[in-house]
Amino acid sequence: MTVQYPYPSDLFNMVGRVTRAHGLKGEIKVAPLSGSTENFKRYSRVALVAADGRMTTLLDINQCRVQKKQVILKLDTIDTKSEADLTVSMGVLLSKEDSLDIENDPPGHRWLGFSVWTIDEKHIGSIEDIYHNGAQELMVIRSERDEEHLVPLVEEMIVSVDDGSIIIDPPPGLLEINLGQNR
């Protein structure tokens, strides 16, 4: 069952979920939504949100390290294991303002949260993350039905980018393959 977190999506992007406390000094273990741990190394601060909508302010990331497929974060003001335990199952949010300020990002990182449409005006969803799979950059697009589409971020597929929207021209079957369905 997927937990839904109410948060102002015009201001934040969901980038992960706290899985557990780590150690005794207030560190937390985070599962990135995209599966890409490397993105977290570029973040300087995040907010946490509970399933009931309670949110923290933006908290500075004092330390970030990767452990297997998760990230261990030391956030400012969380200093004990018991404080870290209180964050388990919370969502991890990146401010859209911060995502625009990340230096040396591929061009697509400033597109986090943009709506994605096909050339025939079908709404696919919003860009949740962009990561490198070893061969190329991929856009992680989340639909309103919580479906995830992985679309290569290649110049040949991007038709236009304008005011929070991107129009793409995907090859036939790409969106259906990502869903694991034959349509």
Closest CA to 126 of 137, 118, 138, 114: 114
CATH of 107-179, one of 1.10.150.20, 2.60.120.10, 2.30.30.240, 2.40.10.10: 2.30.30.240
SS3 154: coil
Domain definitions of the chain by residue range:
12-101, 107-179
If the chain, 183 residues long, is cut into consecutive pieces of 10 residues, what is the mean pLDDT of each piece? 74 88 96 75 91 94 91 95 96 80 52 87 87 74 86 83 85 78 42
The conformation of residue 44, written as its DSSP 8-state character, comes to S
- Please state which CATH class domain 12-101 belongs to: mainly beta
Domains 12-101 and 107-179 belong to one CATH topology: no
- The whole-number pLDDT of residue 108 equals 56
pTM: 0.59
